[in-house]
Copies of this chain bind each other. A is one copy, B any other.
Amino acid sequence: MKKKSIQIRKEAHTECTQCPIRKLALFQGVAPDRLEWTQKFRDQQFVVPPKVTLYREGSLTDYVYTLFDGWMVMYQTSREGKRQILRFALPGDFLGFQTDQRGMVSHSVSALSESIVCGFPRSRLEEMFKETPSLALRLASMGSRDMNLCQHHQAFRSRKDAYESIAFLLLELFHRTQIHMNHHYDPKTNSVTFPLTQEEIGDAVGLTNVHVNRILRQFHKLGLINCHHKRLHILDEEKLSDMSEFDKSMVSSNPLAYSLDQ
């Protein structure tokens, strides 16, 4: 196990332009004066190199995080040491809020590609909610989106075969990538950067890498996708969407309760 230590960036000021907090989903729609106020709480930015773990399941974390750039995985480790991927975190996602009743996070988070995260002291969350109640609602709403996705996976797990599961995951990531990482999207080829290995896809949808490979080859043969060199081309979104019952609205970044949104 390679284990580099996490680097802490000095002087967050210079980073602001690179990663304007304004663009992050969590803070969208918060009034500008409030926004400045929340900036006070911003604590430290980290660079997390690939394969390095941000936090490990079972630990008592003092921080919650916002992912600024990069791809990360949220996973649990089974008794036998196998990695169970819960979901992939993309820029704008919030990490580490969920804990069990002892305050321990229930999953680990590692970087797939070099990632930049922003830490926020957990102890100040309540203070922040008091000042900016809409933030609490927004956090809850992001939680709802995650919950909806998670529930969807749970509900359709055994009804879905390998084709459906994989098609769904590809579309989910394809769309989520476009929402917050437009610079990675190439409209000419309808493709996005896609750093996952087939094994990681398998760990996410609950299939072996071998079977994932068979399905992907099929998709390629049928002219639905083209996936090479860390780049995913969607050639026939229509068909993929049909076979997986994928609904864009499920990955929308702003699932706020309607009556609270006005």
Please list the residues of chain A having a beta carbon within 8 angstroms of any beta carbon in chain B: 60, 62, 75-76, 78-79, 82, 84-86, 97-104, 106-107, 122-123, 125-126, 129-130, 133-134, 136-137, 139-140, 143-148, 150-159, 206-207, 245, 249-250, 252, 254-261
Question: Which residues of B are found within 8 Å of A134, using beta-carbon distances?
Answer: 126
Question: Which residues of B are found within 8 Å of A62, using beta-carbon distances?
Answer: 259
Question: Which residues of B are found within 8 Å of A157, using beta-carbon distances?
Answer: 154, 157-158, 206
Contact A158 B101 (CB under 8 A): no
Question: Which residues of B are found within 8 Å of A254, using beta-carbon distances?
Answer: 101
Partner pick for A255 among B79, B101, B158, CB 8 A cutoff:
B101
A101 to B144, CA, bound (A): 9
A82 to B79, CA, bound (A): 33
A239 to B93, CA, bound (A): 39
In the assembled complex, how far is the CB of residue A69 from the closest CB belonging to chain B, in whole angstroms? 24
- Residue contacts A-B, CB under 8 angstroms, 9 given: A102-B258, A103-B261, A123-B260, A136-B140, A140-B140, A150-B151, A153-B154, A154-B154, A157-B157
